[in-house]
């Protein structure tokens, strides 16, 4: 049975920090990892993404993003196994989602484990804080939204309330059951 990577996915520049720990088989490809991240962050896969390796090389979907520089080469994520770049404790890689909001993530191998029989993978095992909604305007837009929801008299409160269709936003919430449901939904063929 393939080894399992315990990965910590951290949303860079989030404060308080937003992170997830997931277990992923080492023999999966980067497309699988992308869908695991989407589920773990409770996003909907609306936008383009990439795993930058160097200034001139990245792992991405097919075809390459129209926003990518033409002088960059890429590896097809569907054909690139995770173990090629993440295979031992301390290995890390970046992940960028939505080139408008520009959500940057650090993905680090925390531990390499043996696969447990009768356990479904990938799976989220821990995390902290709510993920930002899609299209909120990046880290700064998310901070504005959280500030607006913290004060019903905030000038943007009604706009965010209407946009999200909620009265209250809990930036500290973390619902592992709904996250794992989303991961399973996105990971299914």
Beta bridge partners of 10: 19, 106
Q: How far is Cα 21 from Cα 125, in angstroms, rounded to an integer?
A: 6
Pairing of strands 57-60, 73-76: parallel
162: number of Cβ within 10 Å? 9
Among candidate residues 85, 77, 95, the one with its CA nearest the CA of residue 40: 95
Residue with tokens 């909120």: 136
Q: What is the pTM of this model?
A: 0.94
List the domains of the chain with CATH numbers. Answer: 4-129+174-187 (3.10.290.30), 130-173 (no CATH)
∠ CA 154-156-162, nearest 5°, is 120
Among candidate residues 39, 4, 9, 42, the one with its CA nearest the CA of residue 23: 4
- Residue 69: pLDDT band (50, 70, 90) is low
Query: Of the ranges 4-13, 57-66, 108-117, which one carries the lowest mean pLDDT score?
Result: 57-66
What pLDDT, in 10s, does the model give residues 106-120?
999 999 999 999 999
Q: How far is Cα 114 from Cα 6, in angstroms, rounded to an integer?
A: 10
DSSP label of 6 = E
Q: What are phi and psi of 44, to 5 degrees?
A: -115, 10
What pLDDT, in 10s, does the model give residues 121-153?
999 999 999 999 999 999 999 999 999 999 999
């Amino acid at each position: 049975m393939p080894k399992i990577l315990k990965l910590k996915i951290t949303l860079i520049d989030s404060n308080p920090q937003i992170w997830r720990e997931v277990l992923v088989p080492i023999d999966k490809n980067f497309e699988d990892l992308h869908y695991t991240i989407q589920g773990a962050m409770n996003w909907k896969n609306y936008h383009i993404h990439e795993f930058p390796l160097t200034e001139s090389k990245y792992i991405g979907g097919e075809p390459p993003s129209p926003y990518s520089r033409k002088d960059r080469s890429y590896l097809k994520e569907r054909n690139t196994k995770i173990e090629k770049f993440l295979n031992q404790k301390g290995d890390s890689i970046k992940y960028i989602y939505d080139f408008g909001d520009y959500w940057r993530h650090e993905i680090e191998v925390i531990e390499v484990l043996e696969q447990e029989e009768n356990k479904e993978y990938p799976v989220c095992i821990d995390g902290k804080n709510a993920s930002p909604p899609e299209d909120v305007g990046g880290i700064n837009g998310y901070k504005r939204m959280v500030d607006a929801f913290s004060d019903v008299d905030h000038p943007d409160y009604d706009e965010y309330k209407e946009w999200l269709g909620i009265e209250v936003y809990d930036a500290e919430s973390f619902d592992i059951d709904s996250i794992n449901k989303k991961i399973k939904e996105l990971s299914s063929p």
